[in-house]
């Protein structure tokens, strides 16, 4: 009899509640003790689903700085507006993805989009922080807006589910996001009773975040809504059996094996670089908004 071998499961982690600005009610299962096992991924913030009450003054996060990493925002419900001091701005809605490279440094602001705020509704999104290699820490800031219709879709399970390829290559589909290191990022929806086998490079770090639903992993662990699953590196395959209709994010990538120094919104390689980042922000070298 053939012995099946699947990627080891290290841990299933519950998130911590917090608030970001005045407009985001968040569950965050990362960072945590497993952060080195999840490089290049640094943070997961899951906002909502939360009710946005009609208002003429959009809520959100006031201007704040970043340097040395990228933010990735995936919207499930509602609309979000972005602007930054590198001159980029945009609006994203259900199915859209925003991939912002902070690079050498900028300020950005994230708020509920103006018309969505006036009407009110339900907001749900996931924001990730993604590290970049040392050689790219001081790259020019960049803004990638990835509309839902530009993200390739793989149908699975005889129409019972789908995989959206946001970044990297999966089953001959190439995601539209440009990345500084090797990353495969998948947005997955599966129906109750379906089964899915994921095949990812064995040396990649891999985590699965359950946006909504419940599933069995490799036949021996369970995970449910707003839980984060951390895997090992021994084998490429993961078998998922869905006990509810489920949405999840698969975050996988080649680890960045470099020193890591972090302080609030700055992600660098040394403490001296952090000191420089703080000085550059306080002196206004990351820009400012006129209004």
pLDDT tens digit string along 149-202? 999 999 997 778 999 999 999 999 999 999 999 999 999 999 999 999 999 999
CB 277 within 8 Å of CB 236: no
3-state secondary structure of 266: strand
**pLDDT of 233:** 85
Tell me which of 84 and 235 has the higher pLDDT.
Answer: 84
**pLDDT of 220:** 87
Question: What DSSP character marks residue 93?
Answer: -
Closest listed residue to residue 63, CA positions, set 35, 88, 82: 82
Measured CA to CA in angstroms, residue 144 lies from 43, 52, 89 at distances of 19, 26, 10
CB 52 within 8 Å of CB 123: yes
Global pTM value: 0.95
Q: List, in sequence order, every residue forming a beta bridge with 110; answer none if it has no partner.
A: 61, 82
Q: Is pLDDT of 98 > 70?
A: yes
- How would residue 4 be classed by pLDDT, with cut points 50, 70 and 90? low
- Measured CA to CA, the distance from residue 154 to residue 11 in angstroms comes to 28
- Measured CA to CA, the distance from residue 260 to residue 81 in angstroms comes to 30
Task: Please give the average per-residue pLDDT across 58-74, as a whole number.
Answer: 97
**pLDDT of 222:** 97
- Measured CA to CA, the distance from residue 188 to residue 177 in angstroms comes to 17
3-state secondary structure of 150: helix
**pLDDT of 1:** 36
3-state secondary structure of 127: strand
Query: What mean pLDDT value characterizes the chain?
Result: 94
Percent of the chain exceeding pLDDT 70 equals 97
Q: Is pLDDT of 139 > 90?
A: yes
**pLDDT of 2:** 45
């Amino acid at each position: 009899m053939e012995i099946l071998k699947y990627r080891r499961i290290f841990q299933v982690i519950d998130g911590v509640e917090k608030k970001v600005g005045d407009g985001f009610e968040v569950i965050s299962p990362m960072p945590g003790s497993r952060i080195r096992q999840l490089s290049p991924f640094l943070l997961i913030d899951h906002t909502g689903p939360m009710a946005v009450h009609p208002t003429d003054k959009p809520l959100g996060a006031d201007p704040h700085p970043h340097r040395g990493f990228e933010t990735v925002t995936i919207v499930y419900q509602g609309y979000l507006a972005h602007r930054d001091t590198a001159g980029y701005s945009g609006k994203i809605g259900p199915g859209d993805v925003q991939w912002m490279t902070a690079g050498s440094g900028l300020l950005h602001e994230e708020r509920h989009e103006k018309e969505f705020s006036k009407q009110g509704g339900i907001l749900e999104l996931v924001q990730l922080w993604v590290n970049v290699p040392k050689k790219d820490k001081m790259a020019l800031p960049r803004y990638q807006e990835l509309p839902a219709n530009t993200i390739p879709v793989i149908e699975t399970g005889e129409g019972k589910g789908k995989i959206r390829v946001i970044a990297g290559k999966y089953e001959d589909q190439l995601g539209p996001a440009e990345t500084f290191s090797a990353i495969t990022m998948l947005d997955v929806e599966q129906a109750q009773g379906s089964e899915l086998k994921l095949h990812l490079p064995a040396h990649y770090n891999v985590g699965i975040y359950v946006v909504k639903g419940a599933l069995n992993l490799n036949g021996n662990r369970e995970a449910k809504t707003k839980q984060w699953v951390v895997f090992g590196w021994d084998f490429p395959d993961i078998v998922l059996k869905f006990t509810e209709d489920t949405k999840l994010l698969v975050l996988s990538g080649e680890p960045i094996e470099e020193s890591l120094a972090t302080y609030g919104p700055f992600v660098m390689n040394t403490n001296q670089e952090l000191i420089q980042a703080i000085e550059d922000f306080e002196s206004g070298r990351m820009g400012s908004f006129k209004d």
